[in-house]
Amino acid sequence: MKKPILFVVFFCAAIHLYAQKNIVIAKDQLKDKIMGGWGGQTIGVTFGGPYEFQFNGTFIGDYQALKWYDGYLKNTMLNNPGLYDDLYMDLTFVDVFEKYGLNAPVDSFANAFANAGYMLWHANQAARYNLLHSIKAPNSGYWMNNPHADCIDYQIEADFAGLMTPGMPNTASAISDKIGHIMNYGDGWYGGVYIGAMYSLAFISNDIKYIVSEALKTIPPQSEFYQCINDVIKSYKKYPADWKQTWLEVQRKWADDIGCPDGVFVPFNIDAKVNAAYVVIGLLYGNGDFTKTLEISTRCGQDADCNPSSAGGILGAILGYNKIPAYWKMGLKEAENINFKYTTMSLEDVYRVGLKHALQVIEKNGGQINGDKITIKTQQPVPVKFEKSFPGLYPVARSSVKWSDNKDEISFDFEGTGFALKGETARWGSSSDSVYNTELYIDEKLVESPKLPVNFTTRRHELCWKYDLPKGKHTVRLKIINPSKDGVRVGQVIIYNDKPVNGILYNAAAEKKQ
């Protein structure tokens, strides 16, 4: 059916006049934007896949060509399905909405996530372990229970929240409050809130600078996440033709990770705010050009598949599926009927279901559906609640830890207010039901009896941690009750204190010995 000319004129005018108004959009245009969001993120994660965490603390140089060719997307979907965690994680939550409706309780999402067959890392895996050991959401994502609370996890999974809430960023935030706290807290949660808001606003504005700035109104200004993204926006205004200068500003000010034990004192950084900054750099400096947006967000490095996935999805929603350049849709049509691994859903399915959910949300929030004419009651973004992970904690040391002489316990001494002990009990791909039973003693007091699965999908991401200790000297012992010849592989320990160490850590005792 052809759109009335009057409607097209009205929509093009209204798209720039967003201020908590009713906006009218044709159903096929709404679907085109939803398809653009899902298709764009699929293209983006495929494109960035080969560079994921291959460039940490640096960007990908201009002299290195980034590959894309006809058939690449379908081939990757078939032969590297694990790459698409950005998508199949989203679809876990989409499927729960489809089965149980818009008012599905948080436990439905948490249980589906915890018992899914896919492998997880960082905040997701820590949350899964918590859920499987009776720590329910939102405590499963809380920083005291999850050393990865500020990691990128919900940020890469929040696309669905924005794509089902066109023009309603606060409704997207409410969805993220429920689901995002399953695995994240603080800045880690804000990453998903912000991404969801940008998707939501992509339905009612085609001005990227406006979308980036307006979506930031959903984030509390006192948070580091807000400050980091605001710095990107200010740097873009100062250096509008030099994305690398803005990248350097982010690296200089925001690259020091605090929580993630894998990212403290090393170039690796899976922190939500830094990687969100790379998404925004791609969007701003890409300025609506799909190629530039994907290239820049990928060349920023670190999580170089998830970031172009977010940027590509947001820009895809702005442009709509039909306006994504044909060059970037090579192979997409052929892949749209392939179910994502660990799911029974394909892109074709989520295009259909995504439209269904968006229409339901529109009606639930005061909008109207009259045939092909959709009226959206838009929302002015408001900030979500303020929360901060790891307050007053500063990493001061990273050191090796050894087994005690009797080989059935790990022990170490430290001075500070907390620690996180890295290590592994699971091997890649292991499906064993074996579990190590342990006891954690701090200053000779039993504080926890963690079970450490050998199964890779149910493993504990860190062996143990404790953040709320009184400042001073402490002794830690992790006793393995049922040791085996394979043993527990122990890693390094991150030590925290209540003040940062600046400059050179002076050790007078060591100097005296020399």
Say if 389 falls within a structural domain: no
- Give the pTM: 0.94
**Which amino acid is residue 473, in one-letter code?**
K
State whether 180 and 149 are in the same domain: yes
Strand order in the sheet with 22-26: 22-26, 373-377, 368-370
Q: Could you give the CA distance from residue 70 to residue 75 in angstroms, rounded to a whole number?
A: 10
CATH number, domain with residue 432: 2.60.120
Say if 504 falls within a structural domain: yes
Q: Could you give the CA distance from residue 118 to residue 141 in angstroms, rounded to a whole number?
A: 19
Say if 296 falls within a structural domain: yes
Say if 382 falls within a structural domain: no
Q: Could you give the CA distance from residue 155 to residue 133 in angstroms, rounded to a whole number?
A: 24
State whether 331 and 469 are in the same domain: no
State whether 312 and 419 are in the same domain: no
State whether 55 and 168 are in the same domain: yes
State whether 426 and 311 are in the same domain: no
Nearest of 169, 103, 176 to residue 138 by alpha carbon: 176
State whether 451 and 308 are in the same domain: no
Q: Could you give the CA distance from residue 419 to residue 442 in angstroms, rounded to a whole number?
A: 11
Instruction: Give exposure, 297-331, as e/b (b: 16+ Cβ within 10 Å).
Output: bbbbbbbbbbbbbbbbbbbbbbbbbeebeeebbbb
Q: Could you give the CA distance from residue 399 to residue 394 in angstroms, rounded to a whole number?
A: 15
For residue 410, give the H/E element and its range: strand 409-416
Residue after which a domain boundary falls, among 321, 342, 377: 377
State whether 347 and 424 are in the same domain: no
State whether 188 and 307 are in the same domain: yes
State whether 158 and 262 are in the same domain: yes
State whether 349 and 436 are in the same domain: no
Residue 424: strand pairing partners: 489
State whether 154 and 31 are in the same domain: yes
Residue after which a domain boundary falls, among 377, 402, 417: 377
Nearest of 455, 431, 501 to residue 128 by alpha carbon: 455
Residue after which a domain boundary falls, among 377, 403, 433: 377
CATH number, domain with residue 15: 1.10.4080.10
Calculated CA dihedral for residues 280, 283, 286, 289, nearest 10 degrees? 170
Task: Provide the pLDDT for residue 505.
Answer: 54
Say if 183 falls within a structural domain: yes
Domain with 410, as residue range(s), is: 394-513
CB 202 within 8 A of CB 211: yes
State whether 357 and 433 are in the same domain: no
Task: Provide the pLDDT for residue 334.
Answer: 94
The domain tally of the chain equals 2
Q: Tens-of-pLDDT digits for all 514 residues of the chain? A: 333 333 333 334 334 444 569 999 999 999 999 999 999 999 999 999 999 999 999 999 999 999 999 999 999 999 999 999 999 999 999 999 999 999 999 999 999 999 999 999 999 999 999 999 999 999 999 999 999 999 999 999 999 999 999 999 999 999 999 999 999 999 999 999 999 999 999 999 999 999 999 999 999 999 999 999 999 999 999 999 999 999 999 999 999 999 999 999 999 999 999 999 999 999 999 999 999 999 999 999 999 999 999 999 999 999 999 999 999 999 999 999 999 999 999 999 999 999 999 999 999 999 999 999 999 999 999 999 999 999 999 999 999 998 887 778 999 999 999 999 999 999 888 888 999 999 999 999 999 999 999 999 999 999 999 999 999 999 999 999 998 756 789 999 999 999 998 766 544 444 444 4
Say if 386 falls within a structural domain: no
Angle at 355 between CA 351 and CA 358, to 5 degrees: 135
Task: Provide the pLDDT for residue 427.
Answer: 85
Q: Could you give the CA distance from residue 244 to residue 249 in angstroms, rounded to a whole number?
A: 9
